[in-house]
């Protein structure tokens, strides 16, 4: 696995179970769960923005 510069999500706070993100050289965003660090998901920045935006809008409306 490439050596990415992983950062813990700001939403994880001090929790030990968190989502980590990294920007890959090809411009995709890599995501992983700290509990399962060998499983990495690659998404485009636009897809990640759309996903986060959808989650935020649903949380405001109460689903």
Would you say how long the chain is, in residues?
63
pLDDT at 22: 95
Give yes or no for residue 63 having a pLDDT over 70: no
Mean pLDDT computed over 10-32: 85
- Whole-number mean pLDDT of the chain? 86
pLDDT at 34: 86
Taking the C-alpha atoms of residue 22 and residue 50, their distance in angstroms, rounded to an integer, is 17
pLDDT digits (tens, 9 = 90+) for 24-35: 999 999 999 988
Which residue in 6, 63, 60 sits closest to 32, CA to CA?
Answer: 6
Taking the C-alpha atoms of residue 57 and residue 43, their distance in angstroms, rounded to an integer, is 20
């Amino acid at each position: 696995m490439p050596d990415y510069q992983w950062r813990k999500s700001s939403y994880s706070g001090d929790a030990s179970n968190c989502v980590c993100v990294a920007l890959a050289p090809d411009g995709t965003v890599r995501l992983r769960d700290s509990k399962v660090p060998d499983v990495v998901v690659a998404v485009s920045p636009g897809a990640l923005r759309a996903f986060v935006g959808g989650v935020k809008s649903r949380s405001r409306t109460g689903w």
